[in-house]
Structure 1
Amino acid sequence: MEMEQPAPIDDDSVPIFLAVSGFFQALCLIKLLHIAIRNRDRVASWFRSLALRSRWLVMCFSDDVKTNAEEEQWIAREVCLIRLRLARGYSYFLLIATCASVVSVQLGILQETQANAPAAFYWTILLMFVLCTVHLLFPKMLQRTTLDMFYVAIMAAAAFLLSPLCTNADGVPYMSIILLAFLRLPASSFASRASIAFTSNIATAAVVVIRAFVDWDAALCQSGSCSISRDVYFERAAIVTEVSAFFLVAGVSLSAEVILRRTVQQGRQYRQLNASTSLLRLACDAVLELDEDLCLTEHSPELAAILLRDRPGSSLAGVPFTDFVATKEEAARAEQALNKMSFEDLSASAFSTRLVDTNSSKFCTELLQVKYCKMGNTVRHLIGLREITDQESLARPKGLDATFHGDADDSSVSCPYKLLSSAEASPVGLAQEGSRCMSVKSLEGNRPRPIIYMILDMQSCTVGGASLAAASLVGMNVSELFPGRASELLQGFWEEVDRCEDASEVAVLTQKQRFFSEWLVQWSPQQADFIDGFVQVLQDADGTHQLLLHCVASARSPLSLSGISDSGRSTGARPSPSTAAQALSVLPGMPLPDVQSLH
């Protein structure tokens, strides 16, 4: 029983079909135009980015594009190496596919059941198998210089397989789809230039178009040995298939160029970022990452320890970095400094500001910033925090300073990173302009100075021990030795030690040094002086804690009671720096020591 052929669309239904299809095509086109107009900036940016990523399009349409020649050569070389790895992997895949086809042909010959295909088809498959086998035996034959030759050979094989010598007319659309999936699309990823991919696929498309309009099959086919079915449907199917395949291959080729270039750039940026992170970890006390809103992307244990926020279960992730800055004015300046730089790849800067911990203690900090862009154009700030109270700034002398020198409550600070000035320690109210950070070098000076150590028993508020040069101070009351604000700061520091001891967190304090500068010290009723130094927490064998003071002569001139009036202001003249360096040696009943340097 002969099956009836399916009937085409009848004449009465043709207008309905055309009207419905045209209506929805118009709706689709209008919607696409609306989306393109609404997102015209993004569409233009995408096309501009695509053009800049493809060297072929750059040369054709972008004469004014400025690129770094050395960087462009490096990127092109790295992209070519990736394409070479892709080509080698594809060659191994093609070896397996052609080997399976050759085995199938061999079995057909042995069983005398060959498929109805021209002999040239089998010889072409065998030739591709031989080419892949040679590459397997000699892998170095496929190099950067021969990469395009390998691609052209693959495309030539695809065009020949679509010719009348290998494929009958009725099988061209199906063969075109098979070659698109197994040859043309995978191979387009390792063509070194988009122009080569376009040219090779134009040649393949030309073969299909010529076959659609020129009847070569009847002349090549022996009478009675083959059945050829050519009609208008074949022509339409062949052309639509080939046009779609051409644009698909062109899109894959351009996309591969963009993806590979971005992969190379992101890989280089990742290596640079790792190097920057390692360098920051060597030079800084804490390294953290901020997002484009200047919020921490993840918890930083180092920063939490510095700010005394390392409570169990607490996290700094998502907290704005400006919340840790001492004042609103400094926070605004720090935010401006962090967002000031424009970047193309990686950019770095440094500035100083002040942070505040949970005890409202402010301390000077230098921020080393690396601003970069992650995958997806996400802005990130890699920040290194470096405390500059006990070390010099790494930034250049004219670096950006985000500190605010008019902080009114700066005198209430007592922390491991803050310098305590004489304005808050002196009972005479000597004026100081703002707070200053001091380095260890400033403690030492240009010449050796006498050093005094004192152990303060804060339970009894007395001097529990001292260097031999200051042995007469043992047993003296702390409030008498440090009159005014200095004793209050020491008492506040001791209360902080008690709080940390109750919370079993005294180790946080023992790791830090509390620096001070220009503290007024009353050696005797007739003798006063200014000293610089730092305070540490000591622990006895029985587990009790005391304070250790390391004192050197301040750069400020020594004072005597005769030089201080009843109003609390000094009336004496400032001596020379050489006199100030010997001020600490003038202790009750002690001669000037013979200061020598250790070599």
Structure 2
Amino acid sequence: MEQPAPIDDDSVPIFLAVSGFFQALCLIKLLHIAIRNRDRVASWFRSLALRSRWLVMCFSDDVKTNAEEEQWIAREVCLIRLRLARGYSYFLLIATCASVVSVQLGILQETQANAPAAFYWTILLMFVLCTVHLLFPKMLQRTTLDMFYVAIMAAAAFLLSPLCTNADGVPYMSIILLAFLRLPASSFASRASIAFTSNIATAAVVVIRAFVDWDAALCQSGSCSISRDAYFERVAIVTEVSAFFLVAGVSLSAEVILRRTVQQGRQYRQLNAATSLLRLACDAVLELDEDLCLTEHSPELAAILLRDRPGSSLAGVPFTDFVATKEEAARAEQALNKMSFEDLSASAFSTRLVDTNSSKFCTELLQVKYCKIGDTVRHLIGLREITDQESLARPKGLDATFHGDANDSSVSCPYKLLSSAEASPVGLAQEGSRCMSVKSLEGNRPRPIIYMILDMQSCTVGGASLAAASLVGTNVSELFPGRASELLQGFWEEVDRCEDASEVAVLTQKQRFFSEWLVQWSPQQADFIDGFVQVLQDADGTHQLLLHCVASARSPLSLSGISDSGRSTGARPSPSTSAQALSVLPGMPLPDVQSLH
């Protein structure tokens, strides 16, 4: 078989003129783009070293999506394919430009390679196509994406035809085209069916050439061995079939990768938004793995649990180890794991945590459950210690919520105690007492702040602010009827236990908050107060309880104080030398408390 001749002398000027013209256009356009976007180019080079990956590789199954979300995903995937196609067009521009320059040098040096002229013209045509895209980037859109892919595959099939490649060069040309055209281009084909069809055409050209003109090429070289002929036929067929399945696999994998990239990108943005919100509303934000263990150390949680010793780390510690009791830990684990999720899901519940001093406190957990790369389940937890703020969890009474135990003196959370009808010793009407609650403020009246020192040894009020000086000497159980006095007594028992363990110094740094405690200022005056209890230490080393409370705006304290006539003479002893009337202003530090004997 006669081999095709290279470019003849008459066509050389035309080839050089066409190739030189488009090279000049390409160079001018590149210089124009570089000058116009010099700041962006410089920034790109600076940030290039900081970028290690561009695509997120994930081959897990897609999650179920609805029709609207499917359309959004398809649109985003198509946009990514369009960016891939444009990037590949620029790469192909560089590759074909290098080939054209090589041909130009060969022509000028009169040392052309032994290749048909159609091969050079095809390379030049591809260079022209890429240059036109460089000049007019908008020509490559979502609607023309498949046309660009088909044009690339048609060029690959034509380069394998007898007009461009000799028979003995087909295997090498097939491998080159597989690496530079077929595999990269398969990543931006919008549908796998287009990739299959285009590659079937290319495979058909190779198989036909293997059976039609392979023998003639071998006989020209003086090697007409039938066994060798059959060997090369098998090699050509096996190579092309393998290349076909490789291209098909890349096309299908690109679909999965791009879809997961879009979904993971959206999830990453949603997770960042959720994390920002949790950091605004919570005291600590931490991440748990699928075994409910901390993925990394949380300084905020360590500070809350008094585990912030130097060198210590909470990474890998099960979160249930911080829950107060085993029963509550089981309920918290059930609340964390019970949700089935699609993409992102959120929930909220309450439980109790315990610190290193065995102090238990109510905590609200805001959970965002999501799936990381590789279908790894993660729990983003926002931890919010409940003090005098209302819980954010809805609905109330979730699985891990602690329902309260009057005998548990370690509880450090707001208490919703008995209603006035249940707890008032004078039998005030429920609605009448409710209107005295701290929740029912009227007008702009200031809420009085009262300090009281409780002598729990004698269970009496040892000192009080001037507005409540008449309370000095009152029995604690009489002043706080119902469960409030029981909780105070339980807290005092905890102080006694800490004294035996020499841990009072730590306990004095803690404040026990409460909410809506019923207080009986006098037989005719009831109220609900908020505040906190703190441990005080006298000069002789004895301990008392400091009660900081805020009464309601309608409290008698906000008007003229508590009158002694409101109680019977025997109900309260008059202040004696053993009792103190304290002049404490709101916000005054405790060392400024002075006795008014």
TM-score (norm 2): 0.68
After superposition, give the CA deviation of every residue in 1:375-418 in whole Å (9 maximum; x if it has no partner): 11111111112233312222223562413447585134457999
The 3 A distance-change label for structure 1 pair 244 and 438 is farther
Q: 1:393 to 1:571 in 2, by over 3 A?
A: farther
The answer to whether the Cα contact below 8 Å between 1:291 and 1:297 also exists between their aligned partners in 2 is yes
Note if contact 2:294-2:317 (Cα within 8 Å) is conserved in structure 1: yes
Contact 1:470–1:587 (Cα < 8 Å) also in 2: no
Any conservation in 1 of the 2:63–2:342 contact (CA below 8 Å)? no
Give the whole-Å Cα distance in 2 for the aligned partners of 1:335 and 1:27.
67
User: Which residue does 2:530 correspond to in 1?
Assistant: 532
> For residue 141 of structure 1, what is the aligned residue in structure 2?
139
Post-superposition offset of 1:190: 1.0
397-406 vs 415-424, which moves further: 415-424
- Asked whether the equivalents of residues 558 and 580 of structure 1 are also in contact (C-alpha less than 8 Å), the reply is no
**Post-superposition offset of 1:311:** 2.3
Q: Deviations over 1:414-438 (max 9, x none)?
A: 5799999999999999999999999
1:181-234 CA deviation, whole Å, 9 max, x = no partner? 111111111111111111110010111112122349979999999999993343
Residue 71 of structure 1 deviates from its aligned partner by: 0.8
Q: Structure with the greater relative contact order (CA < 8 A, sep ≥ 6): 1 or 2?
A: 2
Structure 1 position 440, deviation (Å): 7.5
Label 1:482 to 1:66 Cα distance change in 2 as closer, same or farther (>3 A).
closer
Question: Which of 511-520 and 265-274 deviates more?
Answer: 511-520
Number of equivalenced pairs? 597
Q: Is the 2:582–2:594 Cα contact (8 Å) retained in structure 1?
A: no
CA distance in structure 2 between the aligned counterparts of 1:30 and 1:132, rounded to whole angstroms: 14
CA pair 378-563 structure 1, distance change in 2 beyond 3 A: same
Task: Please give the alpha-carbon distance, in whole angstroms, between the structure 2 residues aligned to 1:422 and 1:480.
Answer: 14
Moved more, 40-49 or 67-76: 40-49
Shift of 1:146: 1.3
Could you tell me how far 1:163 is from its partner in structure 2? 0.2
Moved more, 455-464 or 288-297: 455-464
Report the Cα offset of residue 303 of structure 1: 1.7
Q: CA deviation at 1:302?
A: 1.8
Mapped to 1, the partners of 2:38 and 2:588 lie a distance apart of 85
Q: Could you tell which deviates more after superposition, 540-549 or 156-165?
A: 540-549
Cα shift at 1:454: 3.7
Rate the CA distance shift 1:329–1:201 in 2: closer, same or farther, 3 A: same
Report the more deviating stretch, 478-487 or 99-108. 478-487
Q: Secondary structure at the match of 2:590?
A: coil
Measure how far apart 1:93 and its partner are. Answer: 1.2
Could you tell me how far 1:516 is from its partner in structure 2? Answer: 3.3
CA gap of 1:104–1:282, structure 2 versus 1, over 3 A, is same
Cα deviations by residue, 1:537-593 (Å, 9 ceiling, x for unpaired): 899999999975333569999999999999999999999999999999999999999
- Listed as ranges, the gaps of 5+ residues in structure 1 are none
Partner-residue secondary structure (3-state), 2:434: coil
Pair 1:24 & 2:25 matched: no
Instruction: Tell me if structure 2 keeps the 8 A contact 1:343–1:372.
Output: yes
Q: What CA distance in whole angstroms lies between the structure 2 residues aligned with 1:79 and 1:414?
A: 52
CA offsets, 1:324-380, max 9 Å, x none? 212211111111111101112111111222222222222222221111110111111
Correspondent of 1:343 among 341, 344, 357: 341
Distance 1:230 1:487, change over 3 A: closer
CA RMSD of aligned residues (A): 16.5
Report how far residue 496 of structure 1 moved.
10
C-alpha spacing 1:423/1:417, structure 2 compared with 1 (3 Å): same
Deviation at 1:456, TM superposition (A): 7.7
CA contact (8 A) 2:350 2:398 kept: yes
Worse overlay, 226-235 or 44-53: 44-53
Per the normalisation by structure 1, the TM-score is 0.68
Change (3 A) 1:367 1:24: farther
What residue is the counterpart of 2:150 in the other structure? 152
> Deviation string for 1:29-64 (max 9, x for gaps)?
999999999999999999999999999999999999
C-alpha spacing 1:421/1:501, structure 2 compared with 1 (3 Å): farther
Identity %, equivalent residues:
99
1:441 counterpart SS class: coil
Answer whether contact 1:450 1:585 (CA < 8 A) is retained.
no
State the alpha-carbon separation in 2 of the partners of residues 369 and 375 from structure 1. 19
Whole-Å Cα distance in 2 between the matches of residues 588 and 283 of structure 1? 27
- C-alpha contact 1:101 1:125 (8 A) present in aligned 2: yes
Given that residues 353 and 365 in structure 1 are in contact (C-alpha distance below 8 angstroms), is that contact kept between their aligned partners in structure 2?
yes
Mean Cα deviation higher: 45-54 or 101-110: 45-54
